[in-house]
Amino acid sequence: MAQRIILASSSPRRRELLEQLGLQFEIYSPDIDESILPDEPVEQYVERLACAKADAVLARFPDAIVIAADTSLGVDGQILGKPESKAHAFAMWQQISGRKHDVFSGVCVRTKAEKYSIVVRTQVEFQALSLSDMECYWASGEPLGKAGAYAIQGIAARYIPRIEGSYSNVVGLPLHETVQLLQTVKALN
């Protein structure tokens, strides 16, 4: 019997990405503290959260293979997570408007005996956004619950002329690197 695989996330986007790999898995979303530590770089933040999620789920399901991830944007030394309000989303968009920013995902694959993690970076170029662009995009409802207040796989694609790196990373789970970690723990051939 194949070992039980659990995705430690309630994100529909991560679920859809993992389904692309043809894996059979369950979902369990842990409740962890996602506070940013003082002066914590985004790369360390996303890796720390991914590992904390994996640890929490493994504690509940000790015989499983756990896949956990966390995605945030890094711009001007700041971590941009999910918007708390319309004003917060607009402030984030003003920071990334007309320039490039980095999207980082930390991925952790964990078993009782092994723990591997990686951080993947993708550079995203955003066009300059007008106030009208921002109002229309906010009205769509799409920015809610998304790191950086946008979804590259949705309406926001119209504002992104190019990326350098993994597209699936920007969506929330870098598939190539996740497969490599799963192969390391022998969850995939």
Annotation marks residue 70 as catalytic: yes
What is the C-alpha separation between 85 and 149, in angstroms, rounded?
10
Whether 53 and 110 have beta carbons less than 8 Å apart is answered as no
The one-character DSSP state at 157 is G
Q: Which residues pair with 34 in a beta bridge?
A: none
Rg of the chain's alpha carbons, rounded to an integer?
17
Residue 80 CB neighbour total at 10 angstroms: 23
Collapsing DSSP to helix, strand or coil, 153 comes out as coil
Give the distance between the most distant pair of CA atoms in the chain: 55
Given 31, 70, 76, 133, the catalytic residue: 70
Residues classed as catalytic? 70
